[in-house]
Structure 1
Amino acid sequence: MTDSTGKFLADRAESIRLVGWFRSAAPYINLFKNKLFVTSVSKKNFSSGNLARLIQDLSFLRAIGVQIILVFDPKDLLDEELDRRKHSLIFEQGVPIIDDKAAECFKAAIGMMRIELESLFSTKLPNTSMNFSNIKIISGNFVDAKPIGIHKGVNFCKTGDLRKIDVSSIKRALDLDAIVLISPLGFSATGELFFLNSEKLASDIASIMGANKLIFITDSLNNSRKSFSEIRELLTKTYEENKLSIIEKFPRLNYLFELANSACNNNVDRTHILPYEQDGEILLELFTRDGVGIMVSKNQIRNIRPAVPADINSILSLIYPFKNDGTLTKRDKVDIERNLSSYIVLDHDGQICGCACLNHYSEENVAEISCLIVRPDYQQKGEGSRLLKHVLEKAKRNNIKQIFALTTKAEHWFLEKGFIRGEKYVLPKGKIQTYEPSRNSLILIKSIDYQN
C-alpha cells in the first residue's frame, strides 16, 4: 500500500467517524436548542490555551441555539494580585474575610478576567470555530448582594451573599442572543460592593432562572481518572444515598455536590461536574451518551421505571443475543406484551439499557425474577444490582414472601446477593409445569426480609 493510499484511507476513516459523531449528536442538538445552561468556570482551572478552547466550545453552543450564563472566578489572577500587594486572605469557618485591601485585589482580578473573556469571545480567526462568529457579551449589575455580616464575633467585611438577581434584565439579554457574563460580585441597596462565592452564585442563579443545566468545571478531581470513575460509580445511586461515602472519600468535591443537589431540588434539571484538564470536556459531556463528567439530576439519568408499550422492541433487542446463545428461554413479542406489567427497565437518557421481570405466583405467594439483563456496555457498573434491588423492593411492596430465579450462568452472582440453592420441589405449581429439564437450570431462592 502506497503512502498516498494509506493517507486516503485514514482520511476516509476520519470522515466516517466525523459523520457518525454528527449523527449521534443530532438528537442532542435538537434537544438543547433554546435551553438555558449556567456554567461556572475558574481561571485557576485553565491555562490560556485551555480557556480559549473552552470559549470556542461555548461559542459553538451559542451558535446552535443554547442560551448561556457564564459565571467566572479569577482565582489565579487574585492570587497574583494578593502576592503583588503582599497581602493574604484570612479564612474563618471556610469563608474568606475580604477587607478593604483584599477587595482591591478582587476588583483588579475580576476586571482582568472579564477583559480576557470578552477578548476571547471576540476572536474571529480563520480555521477556528470562532470564524464568522458574532458572539455578544452582556454583563452588568444583575446581582444584588448583601453582607454576610458578623458571625460568632467575626466581621466578614466585604464578603457577601446573593440577595436577588434581575431576572427580567437577564432574560432580555439572553433573548438578544448574547452570552450573559456574571462576575462574582454584587451591589447592595446603598451601592456598596460585596464579593460572592462564584460556584454558589452560579447554583443560585441556575435555580432562580430555572436553568436546564448547571455546569461546574473544576480542578477538585485531583487529576485522577481512578477517583473520577469511583465517584461516577457512587452516583449510580442518588447523592443523598451516598453522601457519607463522598464526604469521606472526596471531601474537596462534596461542596460542589451539595450545590448540585440543591440546584436539582430547586428548578434545575441536571448538574454536570467536569474535569478541567480534558480538552473539549463540555462538548464530550453534552453530545456523547456517557459523557466525561459526573451528573446529578432530579431523577438519576439511569432511571429504573415500569416498562411501557414503547419499550417492547428495546426489551426484545436486549433479550435476542441471550436467547440465541441459550442463556435465556425463548420469549417473543407476544410474551412480553402479555406480561408487560411485570417488567421494569433501566432507562439511560431515553435508551433502554437493561430490564428485569417479576412474575407473581399468587397461590403460593412467591415470585420469579427472570429476564434480568444489562446491556454489555453497561455491565460492571452496578446496574444489575440496582435492577435486583428494585425487584426486591417491588416484591416487598406486594407482600411476597419469597423470590426465586432459574439460571444457567449467573449462579455465583445470585449467591453473592443472598440467594441460596434450591431444589425443583420448592417451585410453585405453575412454574413446575413449564420447567424445561433439558436446560438443567439451577434454582436459587431468597426470602424477603421484612425487618429492614
Structure 2
Amino acid sequence: MGDEVTTPGRAHIRWFRNTAPYINLHRGKTFVLMLGGEVAQHENFANVIHDIALLKSLGVRLVLIHGSRPQIASRLETAGIQSNFYQDVRITDTDALEHVKDAAGSLRSQIEALLSMGLPNSPMQGSHMRVCSGNFVTARPTGVVDGVDFQHTGKVRRIDTEGIHRQLRDDSIVLLSPLGYSPTGEIFNLALEDIAVNCAAAICADKLILFSSEAGITNTEGDLIRQLSLGDIEQLPLANAEQGALLHTARQACLEGVPRCQIISYQDDCALLEELFTHDGSGTLVANRDYEKSRQAGIDDVGGILELIEPLEQEGILLKRSRELLETEIDLFRLLERDGRIIACAALYPFPEDHCGELACIVSHPDYRGGKRAQRLLAELEQEAINMGLKSVFVLSTQTAHWFREQGFVESSRDQLPGHKQSLYNLQRNSKVFFKTLS
C-alpha cells in the first residue's frame, strides 16, 4: 500500500529533476506565443493560460499575441453582416471594423482576467502576473490589391521594440491584439500571423510558439514529424490547410531570423510544458539550422561521453575507458549534440603509416536510437579519414557485426590490422575485425 502511494510521487519528483536543465536553459529567454481565436473557444484554454503563467514563474519573458477570427465571424453573423474575403484575407469595411474591435477587446480582457487569477488551491495561486497591452504595433493600410479595396484591413509597419523590451524588463507579460494603429489615429485589422512574425523578429525572440488543433505537423501516414528544417518544409506534402498555414508562418519567422518555431496542440493538456521541458517535446520543431549539431569533442565533453558509453561498457559491448584516457584522446571524438546534450559519439584513430584508421566507440543514446545518428557520425568520420589520405577504416566488434555489414564493412582477419593494433588485440574478447575501403 505504501509503495502505491509513494511511487507515483517519486516519479513526479524525478520528472521535475529532469526538467532542471530546461528550466536553466529557458530562464531569461524571450518567447512569443501565437494563440489563434480558436484556442480561446476550447475547453483546454484555461489550462493553456495556467501553463503560460508557469513559464512566467520560471523566468521566461513572454509576449502573447492572440487572434480573434472565429469571434469576429460570430459577431458579424449575429449582426447580419456578410464576411468578405479576397485571397483568404478579410476585407474590413467600416461596419465590420466595429465588430473587429469588439471581438479583439473582449478576448484581450478575457486573457487578462485569466492571467490575473489567484484563487487558493488553483494553479494560479500566488502568481501575481502583470499584463501590459498597448499600441506596440504601428500599421499601414493594405490598400487596393487587384482592384479590391481592403479598407480597414492593414499590415504591420513597425513594432515598438524598445517599448516591448521595457515591459519585459519590468517583469510584465506583453499581450498584443490583432489590431494596429497608424500615426493618423486609424485602427487596422491585422493578420495574427503578420504580427507574430514581425514581433518575434523585431524583438529577437528565442522562440515563436504556434498553437494548432493537432499535435504538430504530420506526414501522409498521419505520424507526427518532430523536427523540420527550412529545406524540409518546401518538399513536405501538406496534410491540411491549417498545417500549411502554420508551416508558412514558421518558415517566414525563421527566414526573418527567429532561431526556432514550435508547433504544438492547444487541445492536449500540458502540451506546452511537455514541448519545452522534455527531451523530445510534444509537437513539431521548425529550425532555421540543424536541430542536432555535429561537432568535434572538447575537454568539457569528457563527462558527457563517459555518461553515454558507461552502460555499454558495463554490458561488455565496449572496452572500458578511464576519464584520464578519454581526456588524452578527446580530440579524436566527434559528437552529435541536441540542446546541449550529447546524444551520440564516435572516434577515429588514424594509422597514417598503414593508410587506415580505426573507428571506435560508436554510440547513440538509448532515447535516440533508430534515427540514423550513428550512420551520420560514421559518414562524417569516413569523410574525415578520406581527407587525411587514408584508404580504409576498420572496426573491432563483439556484438554489432550485422550493423557494420549493413554499412559496407567486410569481415577480415586480424592479420590485416596495423602492427601496433595487433599487439594490443585482446584475445579474451575475441572481437571480429571488419574493414571498409574508402572511395
Q: Is TM more than 0.5 here?
A: yes
1:285 equivalenced with 2:240 (yes/no)? no
Offset, 1:405: 3.1
Counterpart of 1:146 (choices 140, 143, 152) is: 140
Counterpart of 1:320 (choices 310, 313, 326) is: 310
Calculate the TM-score normalised by the size of structure 1.
0.85
Cα RMSD (Å): 3.0
Cα distance 1:95–1:367, how it changes in 2: closer, same or farther (>3 A)? farther
Distance 1:177 1:389 in 2: 47
Counterpart of 2:438 (choices 436, 440, 447) is: 447
Offset, 1:151: 4.0
Offset, 1:409: 3.2
> Would the aligned equivalents of 2:411 and 2:432 in 1 still touch at CA under 8 Å?
no
Counterpart of 2:366 (choices 371, 376, 394) is: 376
> Would the aligned equivalents of 2:254 and 2:261 in 1 still touch at CA under 8 Å?
yes
Cα distance 1:441–1:330, how it changes in 2: closer, same or farther (>3 A)? farther
> Would the aligned equivalents of 2:42 and 2:267 in 1 still touch at CA under 8 Å?
no
**Mapping for residues 125-274 of structure 1, pairs under 5 Å:** 125-219=119-213, 221=215, 230-232=224-226, 235=227, 239-247=229-237, 252-264=242-254, 266-274=256-264
Letter of the 1:441 partner, please give it: K
CA shift digits 1:66-117 (9 cap, x unpaired): 221100012321232243235233232x544444454444333212211221
Moved more, 190-199 or 278-287: 190-199
1:391 equivalenced with 2:381 (yes/no)? yes
Aligned equivalent of 1:341: 331
1:42 equivalenced with 2:61 (yes/no)? no
Give the secondary structure class of the aligned counterpart of 1:272: strand
> Would the aligned equivalents of 2:216 and 2:225 in 1 still touch at CA under 8 Å?
no
Give the secondary structure class of the aligned counterpart of 1:363: helix
Aligned equivalent of 1:308: 298
Moved more, 73-82 or 350-359: 73-82
1:353 equivalenced with 2:343 (yes/no)? yes
**Which ranges of structure 2 fall in alignment gaps of 5 or more residues?**
none
> Would the aligned equivalents of 1:55 and 1:121 in 2 still touch at CA under 8 Å?
yes
Counterpart of 1:88 (choices 83, 90, 107) is: 83
Distance 1:370 1:275 in 2: 41
The total of aligned residue pairs comes to: 436
Letter of the 1:357 partner, please give it: A
Letter of the 1:337 partner, please give it: E
Distance 2:86 2:262 in 1: 28
Task: Give runs of ≥4 in structure 1 deviating > 6 Å.
Answer: 222-228
Distance 1:137 1:211 in 2: 18
> Would the aligned equivalents of 2:392 and 2:435 in 1 still touch at CA under 8 Å?
no
Cα distance 1:320–1:35, how it changes in 2: closer, same or farther (>3 A)? closer
Distance 2:15 2:268 in 1: 18
Distance 2:100 2:383 in 1: 53
Distance 1:330 1:20 in 2: 28
**Mapping for residues 33-72 of structure 1, pairs under 5 Å:** 33-72=27-66
Distance 1:34 1:324 in 2: 40
Calculate the TM-score normalised by the size of structure 2.
0.87
% same residue: 32
Cα distance 1:324–1:230, how it changes in 2: closer, same or farther (>3 A)? same
Cα distance 1:404–1:89, how it changes in 2: closer, same or farther (>3 A)? farther
Aligned equivalent of 1:3: none
Aligned equivalent of 2:118: 124
Cα distance 1:325–1:397, how it changes in 2: closer, same or farther (>3 A)? same
> Would the aligned equivalents of 1:89 and 1:102 in 2 still touch at CA under 8 Å?
no
